[in-house]
Homo-oligomer: A and B are copies of this chain.
Amino acid sequence: MNDDFFDPLREGRVPFTTVDGGVTAARGFRAGAISCGIKNPEATRLDLMLITSDVPTVTDAVFTTNKVRAACVRVSQQHIKDSDVRAIIANSGNANACTGPQGIQDAKAMCKATAEALGIRMRQVQVCSTGIIGMNMPIQRITPRVKELAEKLTPTGSDDASRAIMTSDTKPKTYSIEVPCGTGSFRVGGIAKGAGMICPNMATMLCFITTDAKISADELKRAMRSAVDQSFNCITIDGDTSTNDTVIVMSNGQADAPPIKKGSEEAKIFRCALHKVMLELAKMIVADGERVTKFVEIRVRNARTHADAKKAAEAVAKSMLVKCSWHGSDPNWGRVIHAVGYSGARLREELIDIYFGGLIACKGGLTSNTPVTELEKVVREPRFSVTIDLNQGSANHIVYTSDLSEEYVDFNSSEYSAAIHAKRQKGLA
């Protein structure tokens, strides 16, 4: 079996080059960040960032489906109705979630300060927060600093911005490409933060993407929904979704590539490019999940419908027993088949084949002849794929996930909580 990881640009036969610059790789965007003491009182860690476009944009955003929504999400959802977004302001250290009317007031105050500093309207600002739930924002440390932040904006500020949204992430996440298109080219780049609580339908996950492609609001929306569905909605670390998840894509038309028209070859190229950037950022989020030691691409093949393929893949990705077995480098296909069995996907046990990497472990629902030592070699790698072929139809689905480690539990039960309590006692958000 072919064991290459999935790549939307390779599938679409679209040439591209990776470039530096992240969220400021595209022309006409600037970014910057400062330390406000939201994350730590000494204010030694970047925790407030700003991204702007110098010119009008067409912007789309996708927000968490959690019914408990952070105040910043509510405000941004109102503001996105005006699609000429000029700025994204985001902080880490406090999620501004479960904060009631005060939270709404604080989110609006961040937009107002940004609008004033940049000379734009409040509704042209998107606001995002990530961090602790249920504490009021230390807003008096934030709004007075926004003007200073606006003065620090540069066309090379992506790196600072990517660091300012980190919470339990161990490294910044950034990816940007240049894609030939018509007689010119366009760029797409972004930054993201993830770590805990990563699951389909968005998580404590922020992703800001910019592009200089010339694209209509409708075409951008279509490309965005499709790319989110095949990237951020296909990752799971611990099955939780958060109150704050947001993906924003700003396009400002500054590229020399021709305008992207519905149904055109250029539209196909743009979709592949946006999908690629989101998928790379989504995979970085999984690989950097809290105390993750394995990155796994789960592919369900030949299901009766896409819904069946998705159910099966997600059940495997969310099974704690399966994730524990990977952590122990155990090619345990028994746990995989039983998760597939309870997933709700339509199947016939005697038709199921399961592969670790390119090697078959289970053939027709029974143990294969592949030596366990060979299968173990695959699962011992830090990155591998598991393929479940249902042999029932032709629908496929891929999910990206991780193992479950003792360190994950330890991290989420002791150190992290202790840190939160310490902050609560100091009145720090």
Q: State the A residues within 8 Å of B (CB).
A: 65-69, 97-100, 132-135, 196-197, 199, 201, 238-243, 318-321, 324-328, 330, 332-335, 337-342, 345, 347, 349-350, 352, 362, 364-367, 372, 403-410, 412-414, 417-418, 420-421, 424-425
Contacts and interface: CB of A to CB of B under 8 A. Distances in A.
A194 to B, nearest CB: 14
A320 B251 CA distance: 37
A68 B133 contact: no
A335 B197 CA distance: 10
Contacts of A99: 366
B347 A67 contact: yes
A319 B409 CA distance: 12
Contacts of A325: 412-413, 417
Contact of A321 (B238, B332, B372, B407): B238
Given A67-B349, A365-B68, A367-B134, A338 B242 contact: yes
B318 A362 contact: no
A350 B421 CA distance: 24
Contacts of A372: 421, 424-425
Contacts of A65: 342
Contacts of A338: 66, 68, 97, 133, 197, 240-243
A134 B333 CA distance: 9
A239 B332 contact: no
A334 B69 contact: no
Nearest to A340: B68
A366 B134 contact: yes
Nearest to A103: B366
B321 A412 contact: yes
Given A98-B334, A321-B412, A406-B407, 15 more contacts: A98-B337, A133-B335, A134-B333, A135-B367, A196-B321, A199-B342, A238-B321, A239-B319, A240-B338, A320-B320, A324-B408, A327-B409, A328-B412, A372-B421, A408-B409
Contacts of A332: 417, 420
A327 B410 CA distance: 9
A134 B362 contact: yes
B68 A413 contact: no
Nearest to A409: B406
A69 B328 contact: no
Contacts of A410: 406
Contacts of A242: 338
**A67, A404, A418 interface centre (most CB from chain B within 10 Å):** A67
Given A239-B320, A319-B239, A337-B98, A349 B68 contact: yes
A418 B372 CA distance: 12
B132 A334 contact: yes
A332 B412 CA distance: 11
11 contacts: A66-B342, A67-B341, A69-B341, A69-B349, A242-B338, A243-B338, A324-B413, A325-B417, A330-B413, A403-B413, A409-B409
A68 B337 contact: yes
Nearest to A345: B67
A341 to B, nearest CB: 3
A269 B327 CA distance: 48
A409 B321 CA distance: 8
A309 to B, nearest CB: 15
Contact of A320 (B321, B407, B412): B412
A339 B133 contact: no
A409 B322 CA distance: 11
Contacts of A243: 338, 341
B134 A334 contact: yes
**A97, A98, A414 interface centre (most CB from chain B within 10 Å):** A98
A427 to B, nearest CB: 12
A350 B362 CA distance: 50
A65 B338 CA distance: 11
Nearest to A407: B406
B320 A240 contact: yes
A355 to B, nearest CB: 15
